[in-house]
Amino acid sequence: MTLGTMYFGTTVPEPTAARMLDEAYDSGIRSWDTANNYAFWVPGGSGDESETVLGRWLRTHPGRRDSLDVATKVGARPRPGSRDLADALGLSPTAIRTQVHDSLRRLRTDHVDLLYAHIDDSSVPLADTIGAMQELRRDGLVRRIGASNLPAPRLREAIRSAGNGEGYSLLQQRFSYLRPDADANLAPQVLLDEAVADACGSAGIGMLGYSPLLSGAYTRGDRPLPDGYATAVTARALRILDEVAASAGLDAGQTVLAWMGQRRQRVQPVVGVSTPAQLRSAATAVRTSLGIDSLTALDAARMGR
Ligand X SMILES: NC(=O)c1ccc[n+]([C@@H]2O[C@H](COP(=O)([O-])OP(=O)(O)OC[C@H]3O[C@@H](n4cnc5c(N)ncnc54)[C@H](OP(=O)(O)O)[C@@H]3O)[C@@H](O)[C@H]2O)c1
**Residues near ligand X (CB under 6 A):** 4-6, 33, 148-149, 172, 189, 210-216, 219-220, 253, 270-274, 278, 281
Nearest approach, Cβ of residue 292 and ligand X (Å):
25
Quickly list DSSP for 30-44.
Answer: -EEE--TTTTTTSTT
Q: Tally Cβ neighbours within 10 Å of residue 281.
A: 19
Q: Which residue is nearest to ligand X (CB)?
A: 4
Q: Are the C-beta atoms of 66 and 72 separated by less than 8 Å?
A: no
Residue whose CB is less far from ligand X, 98 or 215? 215
Residue whose CB is less far from ligand X, 182 or 187? 187
Q: Rounded to an integer, what distance in angstroms lies between the CA atom of residue 201 and that of residue 262?
A: 16
Amino acid at 246: A
Nearest approach, Cβ of residue 48 and ligand X (Å):
15
Could you give the 3-state DSSP secondary structure of residue 69?
Answer: strand
Q: What element of type H or E holds 116?
A: strand 112-117
Residue whose CB is less far from ligand X, 211 or 294? 211
Nearest approach, Cβ of residue 151 and ligand X (Å):
13
- Backbone φ/ψ region at 192: left (φ over 0), alpha (ψ -120 to 50), beta: beta
Contacts of 218-226 with CB under 8 Å at 24 or more apart are 218/177, 218/251, 218/252, 218/253, 218/256, 219/251, 219/252, 219/253, 225/178, 226/180
Residue whose CB is less far from ligand X, 62 or 86? 86
Nearest approach, Cβ of residue 100 and ligand X (Å):
17
Q: Rounded to an integer, what distance in angstroms lies between the CA atom of residue 60 and that of residue 37?
A: 23
Nearest approach, Cβ of residue 164 and ligand X (Å):
28
Residue whose CB is less far from ligand X, 217 or 290? 217
Residue whose CB is less far from ligand X, 171 or 293? 171
Nearest approach, Cβ of residue 135 and ligand X (Å):
23
Nearest approach, Cβ of residue 5 and ligand X (Å):
6
Phi, psi dihedrals of residue 183, rounded to the nearest 5°? -100, 15
Query: Count H helices, E strands: the chain?
Result: 10, 8
Nearest approach, Cβ of residue 200 and ligand X (Å):
15
Residue whose CB is less far from ligand X, 95 or 119? 119
Q: Tally Cβ neighbours within 10 Å of residue 140.
A: 9
Residue whose CB is less far from ligand X, 134 or 268? 268
